Amino acid sequence: MSSSNTTNHSASASIINNEINEFPKNEQDEDLQFITSNTNHHDHDLEKGSIKPKSVREKIRDNEPVMLSDLDWDSPEDPGNPKNWSKPYRWFVTMVAAWMCLVVTFGSSLYTAGIFKIMAKFQVSQTLSLAGLTFYLVGLSLGPILGAPMSEILGRKPVYMISLPLSMLFVMGVGLSKNMGSILVLRFFAGFFASPVMAIAGGSISDIWEVEMTGVAMSSFCLAPFAGPVLGPIIGGFAMVHKDWAWTQWIQLFFSGAILPFVIILPETYKPAIMRKRAKQRGITIEKPKLTPLQMLKLLFVITVARPLEMFVMEPIVIVLSLYTSLVFSILFGFFEAYPVIFRGIYKMDGDITGLTFLGIGVGLLISTAIYIYIDRTIYFPKNADGTRGKRDEKGNIIPSAPEAMLLPAKIGAPLLPIALFWQAWTAKNSVHWMAPIAAGAPFGMSLMLIFYSVLLYFTYSYPPIILASALAANNLARYVLASVFPLFTVQMYQNLGVDWASSLFGFIAIAMMPIPWIFTKYGPYLRKASKFNKQAAAQAAASSTVEDAESIAELELSRTLSYRQ
């Protein structure tokens, strides 16, 4: 857009905002308070010199259709705004979302506790029985593809209400299966239908917390998807002492059923869904979408599949950081088979006790969460004299930190990863007490979480919403696809190389990747500036200021919807 157009754009926005502010309020018509400050789509008509368009308030008064994105909260104190809910209630919503994610990821590793009984029951190899874990993780990797359109159309709560019970039906099917083929197919669909929960739960957190509190809430929430896989072998190991393999599925059903009552009373947090419901209650007509259903599906495909794959091939930031998080995540899932080799093979532990060895990783996860919260409260959002948090300008608006500042947790976690792997590699011996390799799990759990926190934050601060959704989808896909493969070769690798050199191999890879946070600290600004995706986003944002470019507007709004996921 030219400089003259930019001037007109600002002037026209000012005219309409003044018109909204000056329009007389009718105390008997509370619908007229249901307005927004988003008026950019009127500017094109003003630049042409046409008749001044009606404000949103006037359209509502005259019973004319308005765009859903034009509707806003009644006031800054609107009790319907999730950010205005009481803090205890928002923490309740946060914990329910976290519990759902814990249950979903818990189901991935819980299955591995029954591997040996599955092998005996169906007379299959260990690799084939482990494929049940692989199929579940592949299903989880597809979460954005399914969760995105469901969330956009229905809101967040209906997705939870549909996704979790459907997944439970397939979990039940796995437990009732009579052959390995049906187990694999049903495990895939159990993961696939659970995946929308993982895809949108982070969005529920961002819906209800202010910017300065999002980091603390998100760190507490992010603990759950990583704690789930750690708890699986612990609980499943005890169950397998006296029960059949199918009990891994019944336990998952029990945990899923326990969260359902809380999901039922969970409120809707997604603003467009709340606005749509309010508009219906107040008799406000919403304009039909400018895109056809086919165009919207195409747009969803671009954001959740095509562009993530392109970014994973073409975007250095996404390639390197996604591979880094995928490595740590995959080693965790490889440990589900490596730990039995170590603790059952070397230390002759029973299956139930072997599961407890994962407590070391769990302790590391808790410590890393505490470390991140400390960094968030003291460095990213320190408390100001007036009681607010974070660096602010003269108007009180938060001044965002540079993306590279978000790499601090990774700089702590990066050295811990090779330390943990070499620690485990060379202490897992008969001559060394079993507590030593278990303790190695603590620095591993710390590195896992701290690296993940940093990458999530770095993406968030590096990309605008229109690109961020795709960057996170690429990271999600890479993590789960790579993690689904690792268990298939971990046993053979540890048996052929031995525990010492198998874990050391991972350790050497971790050393090679350890400088990544410091490399991005130095070269990150250049890479972000050179990113063709950031350039495309800037051009598309400019294009969306014209009413003709409905697709650009829709993509921007949809991308904002999808910009938070695990």
Give 542-551 pLDDT, tens digit per residue.
665 544 444 5
More confident residue, 411 or 553: 411
What's the pLDDT at 554? 53
CA-closest candidate to residue 111, choices 213, 179, 1, 191: 191
Portions of the chain given CATH number 1.20.1250.20: 91-288
Reply yes or no on whether the pLDDT at 51 is more than 80: no
Residue-level pLDDT at 555: 54
The pLDDT score that the predictor gives to residue 129 is: 94
What is d(CA 552, CA 291) in angstroms, rounded to the nearest whole number?
Answer: 10
pLDDT class for 8, splitting at 50, 70, 90?
very low
Asked if 216 and 376 touch (Cβ cutoff 8 Å), the reply is yes
Encode pLDDT of 89-108 as tens digits: 999 999 999 999 999 999 99
Are 103 and 259 in contact by the 8 Å Cβ rule? The answer is yes
CA 115, CA 248: separation in Å to the nearest integer?
10
pLDDT at site 40? 45
Percentage of the residues of the chain whose pLDDT score is greater than 90:
54
Asked if pLDDT for residue 233 goes beyond 70, the answer is: yes
Cβ–Cβ < 8 Å for 23, 58: yes
Q: Rounded distance, CA 428 to CA 340, Å?
A: 12
- Classified by CATH at the fold level, domain 91-288 comes out as Growth Hormone; Chain: A; (1.20.1250)
Residue 309, pLDDT > 70, answer yes
**What average pLDDT score do residues 197-218 get?**
87
Pick the most confident of 142-151, 169-178, 278-287.
169-178
Of 119-133, 139-153, 435-449, which gets the smallest average pLDDT? 139-153
Q: Which of 200, 201, 167, 193 is CA-nearest to residue 97?
A: 201
At residue 565 the predicted structure's pLDDT band, cuts being 50, 70 and 90, is very low
pTM for this model (two decimals) = 0.83
Instruction: Please say if the pLDDT value at position 405 is more than 60.
Output: yes
* pLDDT tens-digit readout, 340-393: 999 999 999 987 788 899 999 999 999 999 999 999 999 998 888 887 887 887
Place of tokens 């944002």: 541
Q: What is the mean pLDDT of residues 117-138?
A: 94
How would residue 556 be classed by pLDDT, with cut points 50, 70 and 90? Answer: low
Q: What percent of the chain has pLDDT over 70?
A: 85
Q: For the residues 462-488, what does the mean pLDDT come to? A: 88
Asked if the model's pLDDT at residue 25 lies above 90, the reply is: no
Residue of higher predicted confidence among 21 and 256:
256
> Which tops the pLDDT comparison, 61 or 233?
233
Whether the pLDDT of residue 20 is over 70: the answer is: no
pLDDT of residue 459: 92
Q: What is the amino acid identity at position 555?
A: E
* pLDDT, position 56: 74
Question: What are the phi and psi torsion angles at 375 (to 5°)?
Answer: -60, -45
Overall average pLDDT of the 238-261 stretch: 93
Band (524; pLDDT cuts 50, 70, 90): very high
